Amino acid sequence: MSDLERQIAKIGLVIEALKLNPNNPFTWASGYRMPIYNDNRRFLFDSYDRGLVSEALLQSYRGMHIRERHLIIAGTSTAGIPWGTLLADRTGANFIYVRDKPKDHGLRNQIEGIGSESDLSGGRILLIEDLISTGGSSVKAVQTLRDAKGDCKDCLSIFNYGLPEAKRLFEDLTPPCNVNSVLTYETLIDVAKEERYITENEIRLLEEWRADPFGWGEKHGFPRIEKK
C-alpha cells in the first residue's frame, strides 16, 4: 500500500467519510445492514483533502498506462462527477458524465457532454466512480457507455469494498472491465486497527462480515430492511 493510500484512509476516518460500526450497522440502499459506510463527498469540502484524493486518482491513472491521445473521462452521476472533472482537468482529457437513467424531459440524455444525436464513436473511456460496493450501478454505467459506442475497458474508483459480487459483475462483462481503486478495504482496516478506531471484538465482527457480507446482518440480529 502507498503512503498516499494510508493518508486518505486516516483522513477519511477523521472526517467520517469512512465509518466502521459493527455494533450498530448502517442500512445500505439494498436494505442490507452493513458495519461499514462510505461517503466520499466529505473529501470535497476541504481543499487539502480534495487535493489529496485528486493526486491519488492521478497517480492511479498513470499507473494504468492508458496512452490514448483523445481519452474521454466519464464521471458517474452524481458522486463521480467532481472527481472525474478534477482528473480531466489534470490530464487534459475530455469529460462527460453518465446518468443512471435518461432524463425524463428535454433531450432525454443519459450521457451528458455529447449531443443527443451523437455517440462516442469508439473513443477510449475511463469511468470514474467514487465507490464500488456491489458493483451493479458501476457495471450499468460501463454498459451504457459501450452501448453509445464507447470503448470502456477501465473503471477507477476512490474506494472499493472488494466484494466478490462486484468482481464477478465486472468480469462477466464482454469484454471484462478492469477495476482500479485509490483505497481498498484491506488498507482501511489496517489503518483503523493502527489508529485504534476499532476494538478487537469489532475487528472480529468485520472479518466475519467480509467472509459473508450478505448473511452477516441476519446472523447478528440485523435483518435486511425490505423496500416498500
Q: Is the pTM of this model over 0.85?
A: yes
Nearest residue to 71 (alpha-carbon basis) of 12, 11, 128, 138: 128
Q: For the CA atoms of 13, 16, 21, 24, what is the dihedral angle to 10 degrees?
A: 170
CB atoms within 10 A of CB 85: 16
Range with the poorest average pLDDT among 58-72, 83-97, 118-132 = 58-72
User: Per the structure block, which three cell numbers stand in for 26?
Assistant: 448502517
What is the set of domains in the chain, with CATH numbers?
Answer: 3-219 (3.40.50.2020)
Task: Note the pLDDT tens digit of each residue in 49-65.
Answer: 999 999 999 999 999 99
Segments of 36-123 assigned E as strands:
36-38, 72-76, 94-98, 111-112
d(CA 223, CA 7) in angstroms, rounded, equals 34
pLDDT at 1 over 70: no
Overall average pLDDT of the 117-140 stretch: 95
User: Per the structure block, which three cell numbers stand in for 54?
Assistant: 485528486
The confidence score (pLDDT) of residue 106 equals: 58
CB atoms within 10 A of CB 104: 6
Task: Note the pLDDT tens digit of each residue in 170-191.
Answer: 999 999 999 999 999 999 999 9
> 190 to each of 107, 165, 185, 193, how far by Cα in Å?
47, 23, 9, 5
CB atoms within 10 A of CB 107: 10
Burial class (CB in 10 A: 0-12, 13-18, 19+), 39: middle
d(CA 93, CA 87) in angstroms, rounded, equals 8
> 148 to each of 9, 117, 121, 152, how far by Cα in Å?
36, 10, 8, 10
- Asked if 58 and 90 touch (Cβ cutoff 8 Å), the reply is yes
Nearest residue to 209 (alpha-carbon basis) of 220, 200, 195: 220
The confidence score (pLDDT) of residue 107 equals: 60
Sequence-ordered list of residues with C-beta below 8 angstroms from that of 38, at least 6 positions apart, any chain: 17, 18, 19, 131, 133, 159, 161
CB atoms within 10 A of CB 138: 24
The confidence score (pLDDT) of residue 227 equals: 74
Q: How confident is the model at residue 85 (pLDDT cuts 50, 70, 90)?
A: very high
The confidence score (pLDDT) of residue 67 equals: 80
